[in-house]
Homo-oligomer: A and B are copies of this chain.
Amino acid sequence: MKKKIVASLILASAIFVGVAFAGDAAAPAPKIDTGDTAWVLVSAALVLLMTPGLALFYGGMVRRKNVLGTMKQSFVAIPIVSIQWVLIGYSLAFGPDVGHFIGNLSWFGLNTVGLSPNADYAPTIPHQAFMIFQMMFAVITPAVVSGAFAERMKFTAFVAFLLLWTTLVYDPIAHWVWGTGGWIRALGGLDFAGGFVVEINSGVSALAAAIVIGRRRGWPHEPMMPHNLTLMLLGAGLLWFGWFGFNAGSAAASGTVATAAFVSTHIATAAAAMAWMIVEWWHRGKPTLLGAASGAVAGLVAITPAAGFVGPLPSLLLGGVAGLVCYAAVVLKNRLGYDDSLDAFGVHGIGGTWGAVATGIFASVAVNAGGANGLLYGNPNLALIQLGCVAATWAYSFFMTFTIMKVLDAVIGVRVDGDEEEQGLDLTQHGENAYTA
């Protein structure tokens, strides 16, 4: 075993050294804007923070015995997906187009991805700044999916899932939507900051994964209450904060579009938190903190595709509806009988779908000349395009994730055994206890 590892390390080093330096050669281009670069770097840092934020948000909602296992499913996405992105992911998603479906591998190991701007993606910042900003999106997306199978997935299976899913599901969809030559981009589908790529994709994949892995033991008759709602709130706060980078950073520059995205993000989130709180108050008699926080996340999700394309008041409406539909989705789950532990589908799948549709309604070239007008501004076409793209993303995400989970289950098994589930993931998968007495 030791020998094999050493051998692979040597081999790997050799490869690194071989291909290492092409990308570095690019001299700084004169067009780089310091304000734009500052904004995109800050945004990348903010999006990075969202993944620990998600770890806390999710970790607070599970039972004590699974908190580390749940957090680790988010946290480990950072190293694993980042390395995949450097080696092949960025090339697959943003590299030269192959059949409108995927990038080729010519940017392998960030080959040619240097410090001068790439005019296709972000003309005023170093290409690597765009690359690293996008990396953070690839990282958090499968972490969102992990909410679906929290408290019962084998860690080895999760690592395999992470690599397969990122490569086979995330990278292609990112290419469709944002890659030069991608078919959704070519068709004119609008996705400002990842409504398709991140939200619908993760949410629908969560549904497929929850179905394959099956319910937690004891669900739904045994209450599985969140073990620490202060962690949850902290996580929600960090997500809200980081999402400004996610959405407004997607302008890939500082200025009016970034401002519009920032403003719409905040307003929609406020409205969704409000709406969730009100509907829960009316439905159950009490407004919970988890409800307000969940509503906020639903709003953040829903505004994501629309952020840089819509004005303040449409955002208010968009967010309010998001709070309502996600609340309904989450409540309905219990009737439909699948156990999406932390409601990744109910919040991200449904919220993202509504957001993508709403972009087709509320988008306005007055906000962003680079966008398009929606239904409300007399262009029903956009709404139809959005609907079509939603359907395609749903189908692809669901089918691919279902298949990946089924294959993994057959090959290594996706689920811990009953005793391990009883004892918890922390001890059985990671040999750790979150809290000592």
Contacts and interface: CB of A to CB of B under 8 A. Distances in A.
Given A37-B255, A45-B245, A55 B237 contact: yes
A286 B429 contact: yes
A253 interface: yes
B75 A270 contact: no
Interface in A253-289: 253-256, 258-260, 262-263, 266-267, 269-271, 273-274, 277, 282, 284-289
A290 to B, nearest CB: 7
A24 interface: yes
A284 to B, nearest CB: 7
A218 interface: no
A432 B110 contact: no
Interface string A71-101: 1100110111011001000000000000000
Interface of A: 1, 5, 9, 12-13, 16-17, 19-21, 23-26, 28, 32-39, 41-42, 44-46, 48-49, 51-53, 55-56, 59, 63-64, 67-68, 71-72, 75-76, 78-80, 82-83, 86, 109-110, 113, 115-116, 125-126, 128-129, 131-132, 135, 155, 225-231, 233-234, 236-238, 240-241, 244-245, 248, 253-256, 258-260, 262-263, 266-267, 269-271, 273-274, 277, 282, 284-290, 292-293, 295-296, 311-314, 316-317, 320, 364, 366-367, 376, 429-437
Contacts of A270: 78-80, 82-83
